[in-house]
């Protein structure tokens, strides 16, 4: 986005995607529509009288194998890949129309969304973008698992995973301010072990999974290779994390560190961050050429009343 990074954006034209849900296996059609500045990301169930669910932490429902949203008993499931693509590509406002409970898995990554955004264009809006500037550390720990956010410029994410063979330990870092999301993160696909397949299906999960939309692993490696990156697994975890952190309602200005975390811990971090009003402030995003100057001499004119954070 370059010099327009301090302003909000929406997609330039409607987009449509069709496919099946990863876990439900149900067919679904989804349309993305341009939305007015300041409206955020809102899901709309067209099969349920256009019932709307804003993509906000207060609406988080189940987060075991995917991140789902629920409001007044209405569910939207497996939101993380689309939310990741929107945040990663700098789209602030969009209406997501969906005619079933789960988003389409497509190829298991966020790349189809990125390619669609690039074809249709992303439109700059007149409203200044607000970001959550982290002021002090916020951490979530669970045994040997860990996720935290710390003060820092940009939007930096470092993730480490440690899975059974053949994945092992991998780590990856990215700064979303570098605008490399489309090439370094978006193509990374979801993955799973063939040995776990029947157990997950017995739980009512991965009914739509297959070699066309997931990396399937046996003891030797991917059975449907090649990989898009040698470290595709950890890059996909970064992709998921970006999508889950989108539920904060704004981009984050800070440094996120995760060690063997997952959807539940990602969303727990969002909840803990937003509940601690002393740990963040809302500020207007700075233009790239003035970011350092703004941080050294902050102006009260650039601040937004913190309680006005969307979803609180």
Which residue numbers are catalytic?
263
d(C-alpha 4, C-alpha 190), whole Å: 32
- For residue 301, which phi and psi values (nearest 5 degrees)? -65, -20
> Strand pairing of 251-259 and 155-163?
parallel
Q: Do 96 and 82 touch, CB atoms closer than 8 A?
A: yes
- CA dist 237 and 270 (Å) reads 16
To 10 degrees, the CA torsion angle through 59, 163, 82, 114? 160
185: nearest Cα among 155, 162, 207, 212? 155
Query: Which residues is 30 bridged to in the sheet?
Result: 17, 98
In angstroms, rounded to a whole number, what is the distance separating the alpha carbons of residues 223 and 97? 35
Tokens 């200044």 appear where?
128
On whether the CB atoms of residues 185 and 85 are closer than 8 A, the answer is no
- Which residue, 167, 144, 172, is CA-closest to 260? 144
6's CB contacts (< 8 A; 6+ apart) are 128, 129, 284, 285, 286, 287
Cβ atoms of 8 and 36 closer than 8 Å: no
Structure tokens at 301: 């004119």
């Amino acid at each position: 986005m370059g010099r327009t990074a301090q302003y909000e954006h929406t997609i330039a034209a409607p987009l449509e995607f069709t496919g099946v849900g990863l876990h439900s296996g149900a067919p679904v059609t989804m349309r993305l529509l341009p939305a007015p500045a300041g409206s955020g990301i809102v899901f709309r169930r067209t099969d349920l009288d256009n019932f709307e669910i804003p993509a906000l932490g207060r609406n988080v429902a189940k987060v075991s194998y995917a991140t789902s949203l629920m409001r007044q008993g209405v569910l939207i499931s497996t939101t993380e890949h689309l939310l990741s693509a929107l945040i990663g590509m700098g789209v602030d406002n969009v209406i997501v129309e969906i005619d079933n409970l789960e988003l389409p898995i497509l190829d298991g990554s966020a790349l189809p969304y990125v390619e669609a955004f690039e074809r249709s264009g992303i439109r700059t809006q007149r409203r200044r973008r607000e970001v959550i500037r982290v002021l002090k550390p916020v951490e979530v720990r669970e045994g040997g698992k860990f996720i935290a956010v710390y003060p820092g410029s940009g939007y930096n994410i470092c993730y480490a995973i440690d899975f059974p063979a053949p994945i092992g330990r991998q780590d990856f870092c990215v700064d979303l301010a570098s605008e490399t999301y489309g090439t370094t993160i978006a193509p990374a696909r979801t993955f799973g072990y063939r040995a776990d397949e029947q157990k997950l299906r017995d739980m009512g999960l991965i009914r739509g999974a297959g070699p066309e939309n997931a990396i399937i692993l046996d003891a030797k490696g991917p059975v449907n290779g090649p990989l898009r990156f040698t470290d595709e697994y950890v890059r996909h975890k970064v992709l998921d994390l970006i999508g889950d952190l989108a539920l904060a309602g704004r981009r984050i200005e800070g440094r996120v560190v995760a060690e063997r975390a997952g959807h539940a811990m990602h969303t727990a971090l969002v909840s803990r961050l937003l509940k601690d009003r002393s740990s963040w402030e809302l500020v207007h995003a700075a233009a790239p050429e003035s970011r350092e100057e703004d941080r050294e001499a902050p102006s009260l004119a650039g601040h937004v009343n913190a309680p006005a954070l969307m979803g609180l």
